[in-house]
Amino acid sequence: MIVTADMAISLDGCIAGPNVALDNPGGDGAEPLFEWIHNLASWRERQGMTGGEENRDSELMREWFDATGAVVMGRMMYDTGEEFWGENPPFRTPVFVLTHRPRPTLLKEGGTTFTFVTDGIHSALDQAKAAAGDRNVDIAGGASTVRQYLGEGLIDELQLHVVPALLGDGLRLFEGPGLGRRDLEPVRVVDTPLATHLKYRFVK
């Protein structure tokens, strides 16, 4: 079991556009970050739909679903995703949501649960590890959440799906205090017309 983070990112380092809000979940101009995902067969399967493209990108998405036994996310990612994911969210695993505001656990269809964790990133990770069994824990986002786990050296593997777009402005993943210098080993590069998928392992 390892801890992963897997993010769609623009060439200029943004994981969302500016002005993220509940009615603007990816921020302004963020379509290139996410639109390549929506027609992948593996993604559609998880949304309860049929069809879509069976391509290398779809295989990578399926690989992530199969490998992930629990998910940690920030409350902004939860809030901006909740409506889109609906009653049968694609995770089908326990999800631990970091927040300062306690809320009761939500049980959804398909095996997804949302547990709201108010005692910090280590507690959320410990709970996710306990829930994941032999599978990985994924730190799913957003930027604030992934940065904190990166800063504490708690992520083993980072996969970036680099989309061929510059957003110009937005939520940058590798910005802010506490990240420090880190060395990584390249694990894999998969290049498709939709995205360049870069996987790295952190050198401990």
**Of the candidates 189, 139, 194, which has an alpha carbon nearest to the alpha carbon of residue 163?**
194
CA separation for the pair 96, 124 (Å, rounded):
6
Residue 20 touching ligand NAP (CB under 6 A): yes
Residues 96-135 vs ligand NAP: string with x where CB under 6 A?
--xxxx------------------xx--------------
Residue 59 main-chain phi, psi, to 5 deg:
-60, -40
Position of tokens 């940065």?
A: 147
Write down the least CB distance from residue 94 to ligand NAP, Å: 17
Write down the least CB distance from residue 41 to ligand NAP, Å: 19
Query: Considering only residues 25-44, where is the footprint of ligand NAP by CB under 6 A?
Result: 25-27, 33
Q: At what angle do helices 143-151 and 121-132 cross, to 10 degrees?
A: 90
Residue 144 touching ligand NAP (CB under 6 A): yes
Long-range own/partner contacts, residues 90-94 (CB < 8 A, 24 or more apart): 90/43, 90/46, 90/47, 90/65, 92/46, 92/65, 93/68, 93/69, 93/131, 93/132, 93/135, 94/70, 94/127, 94/128, 94/131, 94/132
Q: Which stretch binds ligand NAP (CB under 6 A): 67-75, 86-94, 128-136, 181-189?
A: 67-75
Query: Considering only residues 162-191, where is the footprint of ligand NAP by CB under 6 A?
Result: 171
Q: Which stretch binds ligand NAP (CB under 6 A): 43-51, 60-68, 95-103, 127-135?
A: 95-103
- Residues forming contacts to ligand NAP in the complex (CB under 6 A) are 7-8, 15-16, 20, 25-27, 33, 73-77, 80, 98-101, 120-121, 140-145, 148, 171
